[in-house]
């Protein structure tokens, strides 16, 4: 799927070039295998903030603070493979694969979408058939409406884990503001400034249209790379523990993704020649951006993965003796709520799991 998306983007931005990726079966097969191996060894999903958020090992680290995290991870994997019910283990493997596919699809489509819409600002490619700015405005309006629709759908999911929908909406707004107030957001704002400033008439007359359009594409690239990093890596919550990171709220990620595309579509019309000069291409790539936007905001792949984490954590809570049985006797400090060696049960304090998504 990633290879197919890249091929489609390449044929759109370079319609006169032919690398044989689509026409030559052998070249296409080798290229697809190379892309797959690259993604497998790079392992982006395992580095993402969403993947490392609310894992069962976080609960174990709170229950066994005297045991090294690496030893707890080994013990957890041993429990997963030997003692946890097979349906729990199989579901975790399946949802982990679905998360990988979902994240890689979002990144592949996101890269291709920005590449195409950014290239459409430059004066090259097929002649513009529609000869009007309306297709770009309609595309921008579609993405804006899609963002609102995705928020409504996502809010419906969130209501299931909140006592009151008003509290959920308030919490979402507060989290989005906190995400946008981070100092690193200045990088994103600099990209937006690069996109908007060349639209000034005085600069167009001084620098020329080609230079101004090039600055716009640079601004889009800055915004894109900031979105990718924050969407995948989130932000650090503990400098001493690099693995502990928290994802941006899905509404923030969706907003960061869609704003530069909408700005480029609204402010800048197509030149006489454009890679999106045909209406069918504009519709297709607007649809690709729509898929990315809905997937990022609704985050079904993340919800399913976190649901698996909650199920595994619940099993660990209900079977505290299982973890003690796989730890070394000198390391297995009795967890709260578990039976001590003399048979006396210690007191239990509840642990917040967080929403299952």
- 109-115 mean pLDDT: 93
Distance CA 107, CA 275 (A): 21
What sign results for the dihedral spanned by CA atoms 8, 254, 125, 34? Answer: negative
Give the three-state DSSP class for 1. coil
* DSSP code for 236: E
What pLDDT was estimated at residue 2?
Answer: 72
Tokens standing for residue 130: 């529609």
Distance CA 289, CA 200 (A): 27
- Which residues, at least 6 apart from 41, have a Cβ–Cβ distance to it below 8 Å? none
Q: Is the pTM of this model over 0.95?
A: no
Distance CA 221, CA 14 (A): 18
What pLDDT was estimated at residue 166?
Answer: 47
What pLDDT was estimated at residue 330?
Answer: 39
| Tokens 């000198």 -> residue | 330
Give the three-state DSSP class for 126. coil
**Structural contact between residues 13 and 122, judged by C-beta atoms closer than 8 angstroms:** no
**Structural contact between residues 81 and 89, judged by C-beta atoms closer than 8 angstroms:** yes
Residue extents of the structural domains in the chain: 1-38, 51-104+306-333, 120-298
Please check the confidence at residue 202 and state whether its pLDDT lies above 70: no
What pLDDT was estimated at residue 355?
Answer: 37
pLDDT digits (tens, 9 = 90+) for 142-161: 999 999 999 988 887 777 65
What pLDDT was estimated at residue 345?
Answer: 38
What pLDDT was estimated at residue 65?
Answer: 86
Lowest mean pLDDT among 14-28, 45-59, 71-85, 330-344: 330-344
* DSSP code for 127: B
Tokens standing for residue 61: 């680290």
Q: What is the mean pLDDT of the chain?
A: 80
């Amino acid at each position: 799927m990633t290879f197919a998306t890249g091929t489609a983007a390449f044929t759109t931005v370079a319609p006169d070039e032919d690398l044989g990726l689509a026409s030559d079966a052998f070249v296409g097969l080798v290229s697809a295998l190379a892309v797959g191996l690259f993604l497998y060894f790079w392992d982006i999903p395992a580095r993402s903030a969403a993947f490392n958020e609310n894992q069962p090992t976080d609960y174990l680290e709170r229950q066994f603070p005297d045991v090294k995290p690496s030893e707890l991870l080994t013990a957890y994997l041993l429990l997963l493979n030997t003692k946890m019910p097979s349906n729990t283990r199989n579901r975790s493997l399946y949802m982990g694969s679905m998360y990988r596919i979902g994240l890689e699809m979002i990144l592949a489509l996101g890269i291709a979408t920005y590449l195409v819409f950014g290239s459409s600002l430059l004066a090259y490619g097929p002649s513009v058939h529609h000869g009007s700015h309306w297709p770009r405005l309609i595309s921008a309006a579609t993405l804006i409406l899609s963002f609102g629709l995705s928020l409504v759908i996502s809010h419906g999911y969130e209501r299931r884990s909140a006592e009151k929908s008003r509290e959920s909406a308030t919490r979402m707004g507060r989290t989005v503001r906190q995400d946008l107030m981070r100092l690193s957001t200045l990088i994103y704002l600099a990209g937006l400034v690069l996109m908007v400033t060349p639209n000034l008439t005085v600069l167009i007359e001084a620098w020329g249209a080609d230079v101004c359009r090039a600055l716009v594409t640079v601004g889009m690239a800055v915004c894109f790379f900031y979105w990718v990093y924050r969407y995948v890596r989130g932000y650090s919550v503990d400098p001493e523990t690099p693995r502990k990171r928290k994802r941006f709220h899905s509404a923030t990620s969706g907003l960061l993704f869609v704003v530069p595309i909408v700005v480029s579509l609204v402010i800048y019309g197509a030149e006489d020649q454009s890679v999106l000069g045909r209406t069918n291409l504009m519709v297709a790539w607007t649809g690709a951006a729509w898929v990315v936007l809905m997937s990022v905001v609704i985050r079904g792949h993340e919800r399913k993965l976190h649901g698996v984490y909650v199920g595994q954590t619940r099993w660990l809570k209900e079977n505290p003796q299982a973890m003690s049985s796989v730890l070394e006797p000198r390391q297995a400090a009795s967890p709260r709520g578990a039976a001590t060696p003399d048979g006396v049960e210690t007191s239990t304090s509840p642990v917040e799991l967080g929403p299952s998504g």
